[in-house]
Chain A
């Protein structure tokens, strides 16, 4: 029994003298500086420009709050040399972005990855933070063809190697959809084959605009290697929607009243006012024919 008590006392002793002070100092540190976090996304836009979007924030969940007007330093790695790209500032929500033109050549590592590092140096109340994003540059080509009156969308995915030759990439998962006002309506998910090609049969009943044009969107969503890639191409494969004719079956809510209503209002009013004016005319005539010599007094 006794050794047990001794052990417990010793452990409690250790707990009080070691753990608690450590915890309070840790708490004091947090009080001094708030931890910040970075999220970095890589995206290849429809016009082949690249986009790095960043959010700098503190807190999590409901307490999450973007950090405003913070300086972010963006660097890339050429082999082992770190090279600064630029500095950007966050907006009111803690968002920032950098657009990189399509032909800008990122240095690649031996496995073909390019890296962008984002650094936030912190300030008096906020801790510093940094985050890297790795990506490979994948090209996506979209083409349309009609085979035996079946509309086919063909997508090919390939990388450009160092010599400039395309190298097909297999097994890339693609979402194919059409652009809509608020979002993209996805129709199908396909995967590229050995030749780097995936096809999809386009449905007949997708609504287009007044001449049937639709904007086909091919999207790779947050791929581990390639990030997010969007490709858009227009074709008139949609059904023609005629929206020139807005039905007004009971047009009472329109700006103009129906003819029968105007006519009946006019007729009723004209009838009433004609008789009214007739009556006034008769009364005014009384004054005109007032005898100069007094008739018998009333």
Chain B
């Protein structure tokens, strides 16, 4: 403990000189933290007209959809009324920072090697330059996974979301093999925090997870209820992931809010493997006018892993 403390102090000293430069950046970060609302049960003080101070329960102004708590049981199968969630990923902005992967893992209590959001390296043809391709579940309108489920443990909701009810899943893995986008994973390892039939379990949060059942990206409807973007979208440092409601014709990456139809029209958005007829709800903006060269994405990968990636995109 002691060593750790003195170590951090030394680090602090070494960075001390840079403080002046970093203050500007600090301002930005401070604004980011401010966005995080305080805990729900907290009270806030109100200065009334006559100058006295009273304490009131914090108004649920961070709750955009009623009910605010994640739906459970049969309610979870219905979907948030009037919503039609959609995601747009701007491939020009992705540099394989993998913050979306990490944010998602943290939010869904996943094991370090479980990825509901994956970042692929893609190359469309031998002449074109490779690009990074973040991929989660596409929440298809014609989902091959839902069709094959024998017990209805995975289902399509009216708000476009495809979820898994871990309390019902028998782990037959048919949906994993039916998904053409490799979007689903199984909880192969038994984790300590896993619990079956936990009363707090909601398919919208997928926590606590369970052993031996299928798991997948859930579009974070629990966060949408609070007006918050999914973990991946909110943790992307480049703002490459836009999320929103198609019925509202709006997508946002947290900084910039755009009209969905205009964006897809103007930037020629496409859906991956459109020809499969699955009708995904995740759109991609082509990687043109890139913000970074794709090589930048290798910076957090070892030479060996880089080789694996480059080999996998070369034609057989």
A residues with CB within 8 A of B: 27, 30-31, 34, 37, 39, 41, 53, 55, 57, 59-64, 66, 85-86, 88, 91-95, 97-104, 177, 180-186, 206-207, 209-210, 241, 243, 246-247, 249-250, 252-255
Q: A53 to B22: give the CA distance in the assembly, Å.
A: 22
Q: A209 to B245: give the CA distance in the assembly, Å.
A: 11
Known: A57-B30, A60-B25. A207 touches B47 (CB 8 A): no
CB distance from B48 to the nearest CB of A (A): 5
8 Å CB contact of A250 from B23, B142, B224: B142
Q: Find chain A residues with CB under 8 A from B2 CB.
A: none
8 Å CB contact of A55 from B30, B42, B147: B30
Q: Find chain A residues with CB under 8 A from B247 CB.
A: 207, 209, 241, 243
Q: Find chain B residues with CB under 8 A from A94 CB.
A: 33
The answer to whether B34 touches A41 (Cβ under 8 A) is yes
Q: A93 to B34: give the CA distance in the assembly, Å.
A: 8
Interface set, chain B 257-282, CB cutoff 8 A to A: 257-259
Q: Find chain B residues with CB under 8 A from A209 CB.
A: 82, 247
The answer to whether B19 touches A60 (Cβ under 8 A) is yes
Q: Find chain A residues with CB under 8 A from B30 CB.
A: 39, 55, 57, 64
The answer to whether A100 touches B19 (Cβ under 8 A) is no
Q: Find chain B residues with CB under 8 A from A177 CB.
A: 257
**B27 adjacent to chain A (CB < 8 Å):** yes
Known: A95-B38, A180-B245, A180-B257. A61 touches B250 (CB 8 A): no
Q: Find chain B residues with CB under 8 A from A93 CB.
A: 33, 36, 38
Known: A100-B46, A255-B152. A64 touches B33 (CB 8 A): yes
CB distance from B219 to the nearest CB of A (A): 12
Main secondary structure on chain B at its contact with chain A?
Answer: mixed
Q: Find chain B residues with CB under 8 A from A250 CB.
A: 142
Q: A88 to B43: give the CA distance in the assembly, Å.
A: 10
Known: A180-B248, A184-B257. A66 touches B33 (CB 8 A): yes
The answer to whether B142 touches A86 (Cβ under 8 A) is no
CB distance from A198 to the nearest CB of B (A): 21
8 Å CB contact of A95 from B13, B34, B257: B34
CB distance from B26 to the nearest CB of A (A): 4
Known: A41-B34, A66-B33, A180-B252. A88 touches B39 (CB 8 A): no
B residues with CB within 8 A of A: 9, 12-13, 15-16, 19, 22-23, 25-27, 29-30, 33-34, 36, 38-39, 42, 44-49, 51, 53, 64-65, 81-84, 141-143, 146-147, 152, 155-156, 158, 224, 227-229, 243-245, 247-250, 252, 254, 257-259
The 10 closest A-B pairs by CB, nearest first: A60-B26, A253-B146, A183-B252, A103-B49, A91-B38, A207-B249, A100-B47, A86-B53, A180-B250, A60-B22
Q: A46 to B55: give the CA distance in the assembly, Å.
A: 20
Q: Find chain A residues with CB under 8 A from B158 CB.
A: 243, 246
The answer to whether B229 touches A30 (Cβ under 8 A) is no
Q: Find chain A residues with CB under 8 A from B16 CB.
A: 30
Offer 23 A-B interface pairs, CB within 8 angstroms, sorted by A: A31-B13, A55-B33, A59-B12, A63-B12, A92-B39, A98-B46, A100-B46, A103-B49, A177-B257, A181-B65, A181-B224, A182-B228, A183-B257, A185-B259, A207-B250, A241-B82, A241-B247, A243-B82, A243-B158, A249-B142, A252-B147, A253-B155, A255-B152
Kindly report which residue of chain B lies nearest to residue A222, judged by CB atoms.
B31
The answer to whether B224 touches A27 (Cβ under 8 A) is no
The answer to whether B244 touches A181 (Cβ under 8 A) is yes
Kindly report which residue of chain A lies nearest to residue B260, judged by CB atoms.
A207
Q: Find chain B residues with CB under 8 A from A31 CB.
A: 9, 13
Q: Find chain B residues with CB under 8 A from A91 CB.
A: 38-39, 42
CB distance from B205 to the nearest CB of A (A): 18
Kindly report which residue of chain A lies nearest to residue B79, judged by CB atoms.
A246
Q: A91 to B249: give the CA distance in the assembly, Å.
A: 36
Q: Find chain A residues with CB under 8 A from B49 CB.
A: 101-104
CB distance from B224 to the nearest CB of A (A): 7
8 Å CB contact of A97 from B27, B29, B44, B143: B44
Known: A104-B47, A104-B48, A181-B245. A95 touches B33 (CB 8 A): yes
Q: A217 to B45: give the CA distance in the assembly, Å.
A: 26
The answer to whether A253 touches B143 (Cβ under 8 A) is yes
Q: Find chain A residues with CB under 8 A from B156 CB.
A: 253-254
Q: A209 to B248: give the CA distance in the assembly, Å.
A: 8
Kindly report which residue of chain B lies nearest to residue A57, judged by CB atoms.
B30
Q: A207 to B83: give the CA distance in the assembly, Å.
A: 12
Known: A100-B46, A182-B227. A206 touches B13 (CB 8 A): no
